[in-house]
Amino acid sequence: MFIGYFTERPYQDQESGYFGAAGRDITDLGLSNESYDPRLGAELYNRYLDEKVYAEQMGFDGLMLNEHHSTPFCMGSVMNVEAAILARITQKAKIVLLGNVLPIWDDPMWLAEELAEIDMISRGRLVTGWVRGTGRESVAHNAQPPFNWERFQEAHDFIVKTWTTPGPFRWEGEHYHYRYVNPWARPYQDPHPPIWIPGVLSRNTVKWTAEHRYPYVMLATELEPTRQSYEYYAQVAKENGYEAGTQHRGYLFKVHVDETEELAEQAGRKYIQGPSNPFLEGNQGQVRPFIQNLPGLTSRTNLLPTVSSFALASSRGRQQAHQQAQSEAQKQQQQADPDKQDKGDFLGQYEEQTEKMSIISGTPKTVIPKVRHVLETLRPGSIFFWDGDGAMTHEDSMRSLRLMGEEVIPAVREIGKELDLQSPFEVDPKTNQPIPSAVSDDDGR
């Protein structure tokens, strides 16, 4: 079992008017950066780095970072800078990047060099994940959305070759061209840092990920569609001649722990306040479907069962696909209460979110059984607790991290052992063979 910590690093500005449940909605690419305060940014970047260091001290195996652009809900627009700092100021936790937005890089060799440096500075603790990005990323860096998937694949192939083939060599592809590929810096890990792929919606990405035997990390999607998406991965794995195991499944979900149930509810409600990513399940905010649904960015039809979630579908401009998924897969539920699902997702009510475990918040006593339920339902070998988000304060985060370290992580490790949830550091996802160095490692890394 691999247990990681994640926060999206919201730009929490009480003065901006965008903060808090009663504040103005965050609209994709609809806010000017004139209200950005770099002094506040300085405080927040340092706060989030401090929390990561503390998370390592509390026993987390991994520190996950992500990247978004031109939006206040995620300050990680240059995630690799944060990763490089963590590489130096942490000691043993994996630095898990989920992930760099490959298609928006016009020069992926630069990315290969950056990641190799981070891997060396951390002495081999980098896990590199790659994503296709949402529409806002394509707009912010003006990457042509119809070629997003092609560029993702070609940049991946190029970087892996750069890391594994002695240079110099020449690369003349469809989207990338180099006359001299020979970066002096090479990754610390041999042959290269582990590659994990996060996702939410695209069947193409799951298929591709399973074909490459990379772990697939689902980002805060609802339980049942997540399980079905893992099943699709397993089906592709079978077609490719191997059995998918826990080492191929990762899951990010919202978990906050607090000293009392009252404090836990107060803090838990903050997940859906303040600046939070409207594109992911359970969060509030305004999305502009035409920006998320840029022409050709994702397939119109090749979608995962997660599209049945209204919030996700609408944030991706997929209302039609959502309606279809609703009518096909949820007919019975619809007959019982036609509006239940939509109301819950659309309104993002805290009660609704906790009911379906999109948010888990409580004391260790109440949180641990819910985490067990998630682990039993999905059987992931890697999990990430998403905490300290929305309107949560530094104090909220630190209380939770302490209790996670003292009570939740040890208990979850035991559950992981009981359920035989092996991480990609225990069983090699490429071969399904145990990794010798992991056998004697008591804490499961």
Binding site for another protein (CB under 8 A): 29, 139, 142, 144-147, 289-291, 294-296
Q: Whole-number minimum distance, CB 146 to another protein, in Å?
A: 5
Helix segments in 190-306, DSSP class H: 203-211, 223-239, 261-269, 289-292
State which residue, 142 or 433, has the beta carbon closest to another protein.
Answer: 142
Cα–Cα distances in angstroms (integers) from residue 424 to residues 130, 191, 269, 381, in the given order: 17, 15, 33, 7
State which residue, 144 or 266, has the beta carbon closest to another protein.
Answer: 144
Rounded Cα gap, residues 210 and 145, in angstroms: 23
Q: Do the beta carbons of residue 231 and residue 207 sit within 8 Å?
A: no
State which residue, 147 or 346, has the beta carbon closest to another protein.
Answer: 147
Rounded Cα gap, residues 126 and 101, in angstroms: 16
Q: Is 168 exposed, middle or buried (0-12, 13-18, 19+ CB in 10 A)?
A: exposed
Cα–Cα distances in angstroms (integers) from residue 4 to residues 12, 19, 256, 329, 385, in the given order: 23, 27, 13, 32, 6
Rounded Cα gap, residues 287 and 283, in angstroms: 11
Please provide the size of the chain in residues: 445
Q: Whole-number minimum distance, CB 129 to another protein, in Å?
A: 26
State which residue, 295 or 436, has the beta carbon closest to another protein.
Answer: 295
Q: What percent of the residues of the chain are helix, what percent strand, and what percent coil, each to the nearest 5? A: 45, 15, 40
Q: Which residue is listed with tokens 């997702």?
A: 345
State which residue, 46 or 286, has the beta carbon closest to another protein.
Answer: 286
Q: Whole-number minimum distance, CB 71 to another protein, in Å?
A: 15
Q: Whole-number minimum distance, CB 245 to another protein, in Å?
A: 37
State which residue, 175 or 394, has the beta carbon closest to another protein.
Answer: 175
State which residue, 29 or 89, has the beta carbon closest to another protein.
Answer: 29
State which residue, 148 or 189, has the beta carbon closest to another protein.
Answer: 148
Rounded Cα gap, residues 432 and 234, in angstroms: 13
Helix segments in 165-260, DSSP class H: 203-211, 223-239
Q: Do the beta carbons of residue 262 and residue 229 sit within 8 Å?
A: no
Q: Whole-number minimum distance, CB 372 to another protein, in Å?
A: 44
Residue 339, phi then psi, degrees to nearest 5: -105, 0
Q: Whole-number minimum distance, CB 300 to another protein, in Å?
A: 8
What is the token pair recorded at 356?
């379906």
Q: Whole-number minimum distance, CB 172 to another protein, in Å?
A: 15
Q: Whole-number minimum distance, CB 314 to another protein, in Å?
A: 13
